[in-house]
Each structure stands twice: as C-alpha cells, then as structure tokens.
Amino acid sequence: MEQAYAAIGRAVIAMQMFEAAFVSIHEGFKMITDEVYREATGGMIDDKKYKTATANVIKTLSDRGQIAADLEERLNTLIEQRNELMHRWILHKGWPARDDVNPASYAEVIELAGTVQRDADALTHMLAGYMVRYAQPGAAEKDPESYRQAMADLFRKAHLQE
C-alpha cells in the first residue's frame, strides 16, 4: 500500500515540475516571438499563467499551428493519464480496503503513476534540453534571426531532440 502512495506522490511532483517548466517555456516563447506581448508583460511571467490548464496552452499552440502533431498527442496523452490518476481513479477503479496489503491490489495504480512520472520527467528533460541548446543568452546577440527562428520552432522541433 505504501508503494502506491509513494508512486502517486512521485507522479504528482514530476507533473508539477513538467507543468511549471512547460508554462515558463511557453511564456518565454511568446515573449521572444511576440514583441507586443513582451512589452505588455514587461518580460515577466504573471503568477496567474501558472493557473492556466496545460491542456489550454497545448490547444492554443495547436490552433496557431505552433506545435508538432506528435508532440501535441504525447502531451495530451500525458495530461489525460495524469487526470485519470489524480482526478478519476477512485471513480473508475475504486481503492482497496485499508487493511488490504496485497501488492496485486495496487499494481495497476502503481503502473499508471510510474508512466505519468516517467513521461513527465522525459518531457521536462526534452524541453529543458531544447532551451539549453537554443536559448543561450549569447545566441540572440550573435545571430538574432536564427535565435528567433529556433524559438519559433520550439514546440515544432523540441521533440526531435530526444
């Protein structure tokens, strides 16, 4: 039973880290690719942006044609799995009795939590890796157009970096 709670906790932390990175990178992307937005925000990310559902950010990127279809699908799958684990598990699967210590009773939720954790960690690493490679401070000064294009391509090409 304790393994299930630990697995769920690790999945929660991994998702929070992913979502914080994803929103921060998306906001940075908007500031780099939209001068009017950057001026309006003063180059700062409003705390309210972290309350926007990640699925809404993905939908916005999709509607604008700014995200690769396979990355969009991967992100949406992760969000759906997270939602199943965090919001609907009890409704769909129930929960073992308090005195149930049979590992098999918790195997399915541990497996889903592990999937959420691994996928969130991999996507966080992928996005951070893209930013480290293409968003270095000196890159904009050396070649502003290439830098701007790399940022414009962020959600179209980041998944190719894995």
- How many structural domains comprise the chain? 1
Tokens 């157009």, located at residue: 145
Buried residues in 128-159 as b, exposed as e (16+ CB within 10 A): bebbeebbeeeebeeeeeebeebbebbbeebb
Residue 90's identity, in one-letter code, is I
Full domain range(s) for residue 34 = 2-161
CB 75 within 8 A of CB 61: no
Predicted pLDDT of residue 162: 56
- Helix or strand (DSSP H, E) at 127: helix 107-134
pLDDT digits (tens, 9 = 90+) for 80-133: 999 999 999 999 999 998 889 899 999 999 999 999 999 999 999 998 888 887
* More confident of the two residues 147 and 85: 85
Arithmetic mean of pLDDT over the chain: 89
140 has pLDDT over 90: no
